[in-house]
Amino acid sequence: MPWLSLIIPVRNDASALTSLLHSLQAQRGALELIVVDGQSTDNSVALAQPLADSVLSSPPGRAQQMNAGAAVAKGEVLLFVHADTQLPDQFAALIQAAVQHADWGRFDVRLAPSSFLLRWVARLMNWRSRLTRIATGDQAIFVRRELFTLLGGYAPIPLMEDIELCQRLKRSGRFAAIGTPLITSSRRWLKHGTLRTIGLMWSLRLRYWLGADPAALAARYYGSSKP
């Protein structure tokens, strides 16, 4: 029986997903790999099927997809991973050590390809998360399945689902920040401009804290991704 279930929400992430799943094959059995597809139009599902323990279909939206994966997971601990993430080699051992004294947590993050400014973006993300005990999905949130179920999982909102969950988790369980970094793609920063993307993300987060509708924030966030 696997003790750790990786839940990977995808939508048109074939290339990144294949790379992530190939890197995890040696640990199949000890780990459970669950891919939840949100109506991809590429070949994400076909590529994932031989490389994952379960490949599920869900309406698009990370919150819904991750909840669908968690509902079938067998592991005592859930790890939510974006497809464009490269986990550190000893990630499972690091989580196993962390949950000896914590109920949930996340990894430090490093952005790649990187630059001087993006290195500072990552440092600030990590420092802020340690200070506030709020993590983003890019940091690979892990949580005891029992606690996740008790809290009702991710809220069904189209953006800020990770922050909303962390607000509830930090009131309900002990937090661990793993200093060994994972690597996540900086493609959004590079495509739209680092400073512009920083400004957008801080603006969306501030509006969320002030009570803005997550649906309106999602429209702004995903609208900014259009050419």
Give tens-digit pLDDT for 73-101: 999 999 999 999 999 999 999 999 999 99
Task: Give yes or no for residue 226 having a pLDDT over 50.
Answer: no
pTM flag (> 0.75): yes
Residues 137-195: pLDDT tens digits?
A: 999 999 999 999 999 999 999 999 999 999 999 999 999 999 999 999 887 777 768 77
**pLDDT greater at residue 87 or residue 227:** 87
List 8's β-bridge partners, or say none. 35
